[in-house]
Structure 1
């Protein structure tokens, strides 16, 4: 039996093997009620990407501001969005574009340094991982990395590119990450400590 709290929304998920009854599963979950309350209490509250909200973009807080524009753009400490459209979907599209550009640059640079080309980059709104690498050299990332400080995004890019050479988390893999991004530990720690704040943002879905 496994019990986890989803990083998106805080839903409690109980997984039972075939031989375990639902009653046994409920009894198991009840024994973990204190732990569940603690985990959910530590989760950041949901944030709505709407006019007047301060949204992180590359680690900088920007005030979402309605403006007579046709598309979103950064102006100083503001993220200007079309005033006649809902802010959430516009901001989400903007973040995806930012992530695509930044990750393509970072992955291209790291792949050249490693001598291992990748086939494609895809963006998803993943909840359990920030990136992944397939055996056929396709890289996938969460577009929410566009909200993180650039060095954090760059670390995730280096991490997944390193998997092009080592499809595991062996010492050789971590040595490759270190070669691509010396001193990556603070960025890895930032994701562990602050990553849930990126997942807390809602964009009108």
Structure 2
């Protein structure tokens, strides 16, 4: 599977008053169920003063608290040992809140799907146009008077962002199904199912049952990048690891994969800037 990661920093524990940051006066609770279930493995709240989601996770193998900022989800993630209580986690975060703010400030701004906004599609810059046209609901791509490719999104403008997101999911699935079929045929393999998701921790994954999952944002990347991710996951149908035999399969079906791999490492995280407004469903 292909992952992306945030920024992580480990610290040792110190006991201080955690109420500055952890108290209800400073935190907006995202889901009340998380507050009640104190024994749950993970909980999520929102840091209202810095505009980020906070996730607290307990992990059985954790020996100390760790703190990282997810670049893709603009989330602050605290991982703590099972025996550590939430007050200690609050203290830990409070001590390093300046580090958190600095990391969040360094993240690129979110670019929502709005009228006249520019976004990539298959690696090429496109302009979004919410036309409001009522006679058709079909999204199309045309060039404007200056030969700039434009994504025309008809229908009510208040629903246009959601419609565009669904269309991008469909475009991603169409391209990925084609690539997966071609690569699987070369290895005499077959994927059981292909699913497109709004994944926040990986570009693609392969289950032990042969089902493949991909991020819809691959449709924003150049086609050779999407094709590489498809080849990568197809190779996992035969080798559920990243050993020499796995990479030999990838090279067999996608010989020039290194350029795509590097593109994802350098420019892939930037694709997470684009999408509907945070909090909207598609």
Calculate the TM-score normalised by the size of structure 1.
Answer: 0.91
Aligned residues: 205
More moved, 71-80 vs 81-90: 81-90
Equivalent of 1:79, from 151, 158, 166?
Answer: 151
Structure 1 unmatched ranges of 5 or more: none
Bigger relative contact order, structure 1 or 2, given CA contacts below 8 A and separation 6+? 1
Equivalent of 2:137, from 67, 70, 75?
Answer: 70
Equivalent of 2:190, from 113, 117, 121?
Answer: 117
Question: What is the DSSP-based 3-state SS (H/G/I as helix, E as strand, rest coil) of the residue aligned with 1:79?
Answer: strand
Map 1:10-25; keep pairs closer than 5 Å: 10-25=74-89
Deviation at 1:202, TM superposition (A): 2.7
Change (3 A) 1:184 1:30: farther
Map 1:35-74; keep pairs closer than 5 Å: 35-67=99-131, 68=133, 69-74=136-141
Per-residue CA deviations over 1:8-32 (Å, capped at 9, x if unaligned) read 4412110211222334334444565
Bigger Rg, which one: 2
More moved, 37-46 vs 142-151: 37-46
Calculate the TM-score normalised by the size of structure 2.
Answer: 0.68
Per-residue CA deviations over 1:58-80 (Å, capped at 9, x if unaligned) read 01111111333422111121001
Per-residue CA deviations over 1:34-86 (Å, capped at 9, x if unaligned) read 65345334322100101100111101111111333422111121001115333
Question: What is the DSSP-based 3-state SS (H/G/I as helix, E as strand, rest coil) of the residue aligned with 2:202?
Answer: coil
State the distance in 1 between where 2:206 and 2:182 align: 16
Map 1:1-205; keep pairs closer than 5 Å: 1-29=65-93, 32-33=96-97, 35-67=99-131, 68=133, 69-76=136-143, 77-85=149-157, 86-204=159-277, 205=280
Is the contact between residue 114 and residue 130 of structure 2 (CA under 8 Å) also seen in structure 1? no
CA RMSD of aligned residues (A): 1.8
Deviation at 1:101, TM superposition (A): 0.7
Is the contact between residue 142 and residue 151 of structure 2 (CA under 8 Å) also seen in structure 1? yes
Question: What is the DSSP-based 3-state SS (H/G/I as helix, E as strand, rest coil) of the residue aligned with 1:130?
Answer: strand
